[in-house]
Structure 1
Amino acid sequence: MSVKRILVVDNEAKMRRILELALKNMGHHVELAADGEEALAAIERGVFDLVLTDLRMPRMDGIGLLNALGERKVEVPVIVLTAYGTIETAVTAMKLGAVDYIIRPFEMETIELAVSRVLAMQTVQRENQFLRDELSKGWDEFIGVSPSMQALYGLIRQVAPSRSSVFIVGETGTGKELVARALHRASGRKGLFVPINCAAIPAELLESELFGHAKGAFTGALSERIGKCELSSGGTIFLDEITEMPPALQAKLLRVLQEGVIERLGANASIAVDLRVIAATNRDPQEAIDAGRLRRDLYFRLNVVRVDVPLLRDRPGDVPLLAGHFLNHYARELGRRTPRLAASAMRQLEHYDWPGNVRELENLMERAVVLCRGEEISPEHLPAGIAPVADKNTPEPLPESLSDPGASLSLKTHVESLERQLIEAALKRSDNNKAGAARLLEVSERALWYKVKRYGL
């Protein structure tokens, strides 16, 4: 069990000391308070995982403390300590939200068992809620039998069992998160897989999402919140689109990776975490570093193992498998029989360039299932842009301008003009990603950089 922060509240100094020693022997961090008012002040200063409180105390007693916690919406489990004569009061405490009570005098073993049980229950409740949220999204396995996918599977099996950070690079829609989930499943780590999309959360909220916050840390922080780093301790945190994280927050993340501790916003206490980090981007990492979007030191920390996810257009043999998988999925969702793909429609899919990768294919198959009223999906159920590519052996007709007897036939001039147009089109299609544009043009990145500089693009 990881180290937890426990607050002991008792007006007897001797009892506080006994409980402190017992809980520290269990490996936990312990703070002490002499009554309810001191306990509330401690809770305002920091975050606790558990409170042990006596019922009878001067100033504010245990019942008053429970009432105050409820009014302030502080979600922390409370175990009450009560004498034989105040069992009725203990029942009242349970109604106010206490999770357990222990009758004094007690054996230390009773305290240890109760504390372990409550902390374990709290962890399970957090994980169950997170898993319910994740299962509601629905996740499909990534599919493929092409050599590039077989190489990817082999790399996942090799890398997964280690704690090393992994940096996944791939265009939008290639399935970077599915790769990250496969790495986690094969890792043997017992904790949760916790994804966070750095591009989908406003910069001012991302730090709270990662590290959590204490009540009152900022406007709107009405209660304390556990962050994704803490939630994924013992498991895997997946930082998608890491280049969209503000540089100042990247520096804080680097410190967390180096020291293995976090601090919730508005709290001074450090919390130890056991993190396995997988990061991903659809950009070229070196371009992101050069543009100041990715800290070089953080990249070196994360890029222990790099995984490049294959593009769908580079593995056309996987298109029929994926198309069939998505057709089955969406037909089941609509409660219909799975339609078959006409040979003409399959040819169009196999020859399409897939700029949106697997995600685009999935969307097209969902659309086809919705539009198809029969048992076969034909080209008419596909968007107009999904058309067969021209036969590479068929020469393109000359532009009409070249049929003019006075038109220039300079090979160099026309080749350079066409080259420039093709490079511009590739850069536009790849969202100015040089690596992606180079793949489209079937040239090396180095050659592309040279051409870009030459044409001033």
Structure 2
Amino acid sequence: MAKQKLDIFIIDDDPHLAEMLLLHFEDLGYSCQSAQSGRQAKEKLAGLKPKIFFLDQHLPDTLGITLLPELKDMYPETPVLMITGKHDMELAIEAIKLGATDYIHKPIDIEELNASVEKCLSPKRTKKDMTITTHDEKAGEPRIIGSSRKMIDVVKQIALASTNDATVLIQGETGTGKELVAKAIHYHSGKEGAFLAVNCGAIVENLLESEMFGHEKGAFTGAAERKEGKFALAQNGTLFLDEIGELSPKLQSKLLRVLQEGTFERVGGSETLTTNAHIVAATHRDLDQMIADGLFREDLMYRLKIMTVHVPPLRERVEDIKLLTPYLLAKINQKIGKNITGMTDDAYYKLEAHSWPGNVRELENVLTRACAMNRTGIISADQIVIEYGADSAGAHDLDHEAIPLVSLEELERRHVTKTLERTGGHKGQACDILGISRPALDRKIKKFKIQL
């Protein structure tokens, strides 16, 4: 007997949420059914052939992450959208590696969910978009902290990059955590070899060449014995090339050859060596502009950008500060021997009001100073000391005399616009910050003619 075709099958133990989703998508013309447990889902699916699944993580008789592989075995071509109320980056990575197409947080942003459904049901979608290989996990897992939409996108890219050896270019401002992303890619790849890092901007050219490719005895003054380079030492592992934009033209050419052929020679040597290290590079510089200025090879950039991960600056994910801060405080407590247990609301507000030009690294520095000064165990706003640079956005915010007086309406327009910019146009997050409803925000966007 042929199975009944169905657009959306919802597996969620919350009857109110399931009913809301059913009504919403039925209004959009989709056929839908739901189940409130893993067992009920399997019983109903015996006669159904859905085009897409909504899968909640917490079910009364199982976990969504446990049910996910079973769904993929039964319906390998059918996309699965994981839904969870818990902000767990590692769960998101594991779900995507097991075959989930997307990962949606509660409370659900219905526009985001609509977009994900439309993308999954697009006729252009192919099986290739869904095929992700799993790997065994190891100890020492890097922590990716954040629940913002932009950080969830980073997590998705980490999961995809860890399933193959395609070269990865990580882009982001200084202090955003590019090396942490590289370590996460290596960890989730399950590679047996080591993760090794080279800072291309911290070593002079001659020493950097030796550091990367190794050298023979007598290759230069001080080369008393043969030394293996990072490309050889990272065999079966990952080589992270930080600040790749600082490479000299000579080393750009040598790196291009490694990426093209997988071969190189030690400095002063003639023996051709091979490497299978997974190359992950990072930069805070605009490589396209460097190419236009004749400072970076275009063919090398294309070799590096097989896959890209953009790590957002902290000012574009301000909502993550309340998740980052406890993690950083625990780390600082251990490092300097303190026992900080929390922060006042005013202290959090002060952190969230800053533009963080130095990103997470600056946040950690500010919190370290606050911990060092603290004697009560609870950090207060006066202990959050932020040093504004001459060109810092925060410095201009403090220069009240330089700001012309404006009407309340203009002030509101600026505030709404700034909030939407800070949230990357995410209306749900903007509503939470502004304390208004979605319809009210839509009216203000229309009233002030704000372009998203």
The TM tier, using the shorter chain, reads: 0.5 to 0.7
- Residue matched to 2:236: 234
2-side partners of 1:292 and 1:160: how far apart?
A: 32
2-side partners of 1:158 and 1:258: how far apart?
A: 22
Is 1:397 matched up with 2:399? no
Paired letter, 2:197: P
CA contact (8 A) 1:339 1:369 kept: no
2-side partners of 1:158 and 1:370: how far apart?
A: 40
- Residue matched to 2:172: 170
- Residue matched to 2:359: 357
CA contact (8 A) 2:350 2:384 kept: no
Is 1:212 matched up with 2:228? no
| Percent identity of equivalent pairs | 43
- Residue matched to 1:285: 287
CA contact (8 A) 1:166 1:279 kept: yes
- Residue matched to 1:316: 318
1:402-434 deviation line (CA, Å, top 9, x unaligned) = xxxxxxxxxxxxxxxxxxxxxxxxxxxxxxxxx
- Residue matched to 2:429: none
Equivalent residue runs for 1:152-231 within 5 Å? 152-231=154-233
CA contact (8 A) 2:366 2:386 kept: no
SS at match of 1:301: helix
Mark the CA change 1:388 to 1:342 in structure 2 (over 3 Å): closer, same or farther. Answer: farther
1-side partners of 2:299 and 2:175: how far apart?
A: 27
2-side partners of 1:181 and 1:384: how far apart?
A: 30
2-side partners of 1:179 and 1:277: how far apart?
A: 13
2-side partners of 1:149 and 1:321: how far apart?
A: 12
2-side partners of 1:352 and 1:280: how far apart?
A: 26
1-side partners of 2:308 and 2:187: how far apart?
A: 18
1:279-299 deviation line (CA, Å, top 9, x unaligned) = 111011211211223211110
Give the deviation of 1:188 after TM superposition.
2.4
2-side partners of 1:276 and 1:140: how far apart?
A: 18
1:214-245 deviation line (CA, Å, top 9, x unaligned) = 11100011111110010111111111110101
2-side partners of 1:303 and 1:229: how far apart?
A: 19
Aligned residues: 264
- Residue matched to 2:258: 256
- TM-score, normalised to structure 1, is 0.54
Mark the CA change 1:366 to 1:277 in structure 2 (over 3 Å): closer, same or farther. Answer: same
CA contact (8 A) 1:347 1:388 kept: no
1-side partners of 2:206 and 2:293: how far apart?
A: 21
Paired letter, 1:308: H
SS at match of 1:269: coil
Give the deviation of 1:396 after TM superposition.
4.5
Paired letter, 1:217: A
1-side partners of 2:363 and 2:144: how far apart?
A: 13
Larger Rg: 1
2-side partners of 1:369 and 1:384: how far apart?
A: 14
Paired letter, 1:153: V
Paired letter, 1:357: N
SS at match of 1:374: coil
Give the deviation of 1:398 after TM superposition.
4.3
1:178-217 deviation line (CA, Å, top 9, x unaligned) = 1111111111222111110000111121100000011110
- Residue matched to 1:375: 377
1-side partners of 2:164 and 2:187: how far apart?
A: 12
1-side partners of 2:276 and 2:242: how far apart?
A: 19
CA contact (8 A) 2:240 2:280 kept: yes
Structure 2 stretches lacking a partner, 5+ long? 1-138, 389-393, 407-420, 426-452
